[in-house]
Amino acid sequence: MPATPVRPRQRLVVVGGGPGGYEAALVAAQLGADVTVVDTDGLGGSAVLTDCVPSKTLIATSEVMTQVDGSSELGVRYPSAMASGEHVGVDLGVVNARVKTLAHAQSGDIRTSLAAVGVRLVEGRGRLVPGRHGGPDVEVTSAAGTRVLEADSVLLAVGATPRRLDTALPDGERILDWRQLYDLRELPRRLVVVGSGVTGAEFASAYLALGSEVVLVSSRDRVLPGEDADAAEVLEEAFRRRGMHVLARARAETVRREGDGVVVTLADGQRVTGSHCLMAVGSIPTTAGLGLDEVGVQTSPSGHIAVDRVSRTSVPGVYAAGDCTGLLALASVAAMQGRIAMRHLLGDAVRPLSLKTVSSNIFTSPEIATVGWTQAQVDSGEAHGVSVMLPLATNARAKMQGVTEGFVKLFARTGSGTVIGGVVVGPRASELIFPVTLAVEHRLSVDDVARSFTVYPSLSGSIAEAARRLHPSPLA
Ligand SMILES: Cc1cc2nc3c(=O)[nH]c(=O)nc-3n(C[C@H](O)[C@H](O)[C@H](O)COP(=O)(O)OP(=O)(O)OC[C@H]3O[C@@H](n4cnc5c(N)ncnc54)[C@H](O)[C@@H]3O)c2cc1C
């Protein structure tokens, strides 16, 4: 019998070692490809080294501070020094050292798991160049020089970097982007946060809890524009109650150093002073100089790489995943796009990306977690649904824990009663949203959710209660 011809292994080069890149590399290696990852800054990408993991590690400390702050009403009494007016404080140098150690350890774990499945790592900056075999190859430049990696296919997962405004350039000391915060050794006395999107809100919330005076400069009517309006309102109220200065409809024109502080000048001429300023005005894709035009990969006017739902770009054999595609800037979405790309490339079963079942969380105090269709889409008629909102203040466990703010909201499709979305605002909303995500993903009805046991007493009891309130299944 003639021997079965051995198919040559697919040579895949992944450019970028963040969640979009490393998750794809793992899947591709498991599916038999010959995989090389090219990365400039360290495995894990900005998700692990500068953005997601560091911010959530910092927030872990701020959560403890929030709990300590609210503990006296639960009967906790502290030693006499604190009773006489001294407050619990943080040593920011220690907190930031922990943040960096944890991030580097996480990066090391990723390196180990990639090496274990045979993925090669090449350190350097990659760019696409016309290849000798039809598709593009990857040219890598590093301190050691330049070399070309031949590729049968390429995955671009180069992420994004903080947006910089010419009139408010970070100096790394007093005017900072979020990647520079972890070099601070002392808590900012008065931190001005420019930008009230997710990143601005999370850091404003964290530094307020850590003990800084915080001014949040928001160019819009309310914080978190684009998120659930009820949730944003709860958060803004919580911010103000805890002493944050929230400046609405205030556009920062310039940020300058003055003495050993900063001055933020608003469009109406008002000057806001602080000891430090955090610029949180969004991100731009890291696609400049990537050779996209040279090989014909299409981009949007914002520089994001255009992809379809299985992560294909306009050039055969070239895929893209993560923040550089501009779909939804989340580590979980980047990783999923990367996995989908590899399954598609290597002929495995694949389900195209659906953003309707992505759950996401804003790690403020309280947290805000969402999944599926939104209130705005229900209100506009884009989604045919009804909603119910239950304040957590009526939940027995919340009362015991001293939780007074937050709610659970569920959306169900008119007629069928299928759960199509939800919002949870409260402590650990990031964990509480999962049952709603399961319901949305598996098209459970409100009755399915209502029939499931929840622990008594528990915050998740409010999710089942909200589902019960939507019975009988809403009719058209
Ligand atoms: C402050 C902050 C907090 C966040 N928190 C969360 C969170 O809690 N949960 C969540 O899901 N998401 C969070 N995100 C979003 C998340 O960090 C991103 O969605 C995620 O990092 C995207 O992954 P990626 O693989 O596309 O890119 P990245 O993680 O940015 O990785 C890209 C990698 O590619 C490298 N690279 C770039 N260009 C090249 C090149 N030419 N050659 C070689 N290498 C290159 C970069 O150095 C980097 O290592 C947060 C973002 C920010 C800013």
Backbone angles phi, psi at 253, to 5 degrees: -90, -45
pLDDT tens per residue across span 338-393: 999 999 999 999 999 999 999 999 999 999 999 999 999 999 999 999 999 999 99
Distance CA 65, CA 8 (A): 57
Q: How many residues does the chain have?
A: 476
The pick from 37, 39, 58 for probing ligand 1's pocket by mutation, whose C-beta has the most ligand atoms within 8 angstroms, reads 39
Alpha helices in 322-445 (DSSP H): 331-345, 375-380, 396-401, 429-432, 434-441
Q: What are the angstrom distances between the C-alpha of 50 and each of 365, 373, 386?
A: 21, 30, 40
Which positions of the chain have pLDDT values less than 50?
475-476
Question: How much distance in Å is there from the Cα of 361 to the middle of ligand 1?
Answer: 16
Ligand 1 shell residues, CB under 6 Å: 15-21, 38-41, 45-47, 51-52, 55-56, 125-126, 157-160, 178, 199, 286, 290, 322-324, 329-332, 334, 363
pLDDT tens per residue across span 191-206: 999 999 999 999 999 9
Q: What is the pLDDT at residue 4?
A: 53
Could you tell me the two tokens for 142? Answer: 């590093």
Q: What is the pLDDT at residue 321?
A: 98
Task: State how far Cα 180 lies from the chain centre.
Answer: 18
The answer to whether 206 and 59 have CB atoms below 8 angstroms apart is yes
Ligand 1 nearest-atom number relative to CA 48? 29
Distance CA 232, CA 423 (A): 11
> Beta strand pairing status for 135-142 and 125-133?
antiparallel
Q: What is the pLDDT at residue 134?
A: 81
Which helix (H) or strand (E) segment holds residue 271: the answer is: strand 271-274
Question: How much distance in Å is there from the Cα of 458 to the middle of ligand 1?
Answer: 35
Give the count of alpha carbons within 13 A of 9, CB side only. Answer: 13
Distance CA 32, CA 17 (A): 19
Distance CA 20, CA 52 (A): 13
Distance CA 345, CA 117 (A): 18
Question: How much distance in Å is there from the Cα of 195 to the middle of ligand 1?
Answer: 19
Q: Which residues pair with 359 in a beta bridge?
A: 371
Ligand 1 nearest-atom number relative to CA 330? 19
Cα-atom radius of gyration of the chain, to the nearest Å? 24
> In this structure, which long-range contacts are made by residues 83-91, counting pairs with CB atoms below 8 Å and at least 24 apart in sequence?
87/211, 89/187, 89/211, 90/61, 90/65, 90/187, 90/210, 90/211
Ligand 1: residue whose CA is nearest its atom 20: 331
Ligand 1 nearest-atom number relative to CA 283? 53
Question: How much distance in Å is there from the Cα of 20 to the middle of ligand 1?
Answer: 8
Q: What is the pLDDT at residue 78?
A: 81
Region label for 339, one of left (φ > 0), alpha (ψ between -120 and 50) or beta (otherwise): alpha
Q: What is the pLDDT at residue 476?
A: 42
Q: What is the pLDDT at residue 85?
A: 59
Q: What is the pLDDT at residue 80?
A: 67
Supply the pTM of this predicted model.
Answer: 0.96
Distance CA 185, CA 176 (A): 14
Ligand 1 nearest-atom number relative to CA 42? 49
